[in-house]
Structure 1
Amino acid sequence: MNEPRGSVARSLCCGDVPNSIRATCQNAYANCTLVKAVRWLPVAAILCSKSWSCYTFFLVYNHLPEEDSSNHKIATLVLYHILFGLSTWCFLACLVSNPGHVPDDWRLTDEEVEHLSQASSEEEWKGMLLEFARGKGLECFQFSVQGAMRYCETCFLIKPDRSHHCSVCNQCILKMDHHCPWVNNCIGFYNYKYFILFLVYAYCYCLFLLVFLSTYLFLYRDENNDVNWNIHISGILVLSFISFVFISCLLWYHVFLLIVNRTTLEQFRKPILETGSSGKAWNMGTFRNLQEVFGDIGCLWFLPVFTSMGNGTHFSCPRMVRVASGVGLGRKYDSVIVIHERSPSVKLDQHFELSEKHPRPVTVEYVAQHPSPRIEITHMNSC
Structure 2
Amino acid sequence: QAQGCRLVCGLRCCQRVFSWIPVLIITCVVLWSYYAYVFELCLFTLTNTLEKVAYLLVFHVCFVMFSWTYWKSIFTPPASPCKKFQLSYSDKQRYEMEERPDAQKQILVEIAKKLPIFSRAQSGAIRFCDRCQVLKPDRCHHCSVCETCVLKMDHHCPWVNNCVGFANYKFFLLFLSYSMLYCVFIAATVFQYFLKFWGDLPNGPAKFHVLFLMFVALMFFVSLMFLFGYHCWLVAKNRSTLEAFSAPVFINGPDRNGFNVSTRRNLQQVFGEDRRLWFIPVFTSQGNGHYFPLKNRSSESHNSLLANEDMWEESDDGSEEGSLGESLSFCHMHIYTSMHSL
TM-score range, shorter chain: 0.7 to 0.9
Give the conservation status (yes or no) of the 8 Å contact 1:90–1:198.
Answer: yes
Distance 1:145 1:221 in 2: 58
Which structure features the higher share of helix residues? 2
1:212 to partner: Cα distance: 1.9
Asked whether 1:63 is paired with 2:40, we answer no
- Flag the structure with higher strand content: 1
Give yes or no for the alignment of 1:123 onto 2:123.
no
Report the CA distance between 1:318 and its aligned residue: 2.8
Report the equivalent of 1:41.
21
Output the amino acid matched with 1:49.
V
User: What is the Cα deviation at residue 233 of structure 1?
Assistant: 2.4
Q: Structure 1 308/65 Cα, relative in aligned 2: closer, same or farther at 3 Å? A: closer
Distance of aligned partners of 1:310 and 1:120 in 2 relative to their CA distance in 1, 3 Å threshold: same
- Measured in 1, the distance between the counterparts of 2:202 and 2:293 equals 61
For 1:94 and 1:77, the matched residues in 2 are separated by 25
CA distance in structure 1 between the aligned counterparts of 2:75 and 2:214, rounded to whole angstroms: 29
Paired with 1:213 and 1:41, the residues of 2 have a C-alpha distance of: 29
- Deviation, 1:279, is 0.6
* Cα drift, residue 124 of structure 1: 1.1
Which deviates more, 57-66 or 95-104?
57-66
Larger-gyration structure (1/2): 1
Change (3 A) 1:29 1:148: farther
Q: Deviations over 1:141-185 (max 9, x none)?
A: 000111111000100000000000000000000000000101110
Question: What corresponds to 2:153 in structure 1?
Answer: 176
* 3-state SS of 2:142 partner: strand
8 Å Cα contact 1:221-1:227 kept in structure 2 = no
In 2 relative to 1, CA 225–181 (structure 1 residues): closer, same or farther, beyond 3 Å? Answer: closer
Q: Which residue pairs with 1:313 in the alignment? A: 290
1:52 aligns with 2:32: yes
For normalisation by structure 2, the TM-score amounts to 0.81
34-43 vs 240-249, which moves further? 240-249
What per-residue deviation string (whole Å, max 9, x for no partner) do you get for residues 302-349 of structure 1? 000000000100111235689xxxxxxxxxxxxxxx987749xxxxxx
Residue 212 in structure 1 maps to residue 194 in structure 2: no
Deviations 1:78-112 (A, max 9, x none): 21111111011000001110221111211113443
**How big is the shift at 1:227?**
7.2
1:199 is displaced (CA, Å) by 0.3
Unaligned segments of structure 1, at least 5 residues:
1-20, 323-337, 344-371, 375-383
Alignment correspondent of 2:129: 152
Identify which of 272, 275, 278 aligns with 1:301. Answer: 278
- Between 1:202-211 and 1:43-52, the stretch displaced more is 202-211
Number of equivalenced pairs:
303
After alignment, is 139-148 or 159-168 more displaced?
A: 139-148
- Structure 1 residues 45, 209: closer, same or farther in 2, change over 3 A? same
Correspondence for 2:79 among 79, 89, 100: 100
Question: Equivalents in 2 of 1:62, 1:139: separation in Å?
Answer: 58
Regions of 4+ moved over 4 Å = 27-31, 219-222, 224-229, 319-322, 338-341
CA distance in 1, matches of 2:298, 2:118: 18
Alignment match, 2:257:
280
Which structure would you say has the larger RCO, counting Cα contacts within 8 Å and 6 or more residues apart?
2
SS of 1:32 mapped into structure 2: helix
> Could you tell me how far apart the structure 2 residues matched to 1:142 and 1:30 are?
38
Distance 1:30 1:291 in 2: 43
Q: Give percent identity, aligned residues only.
A: 34
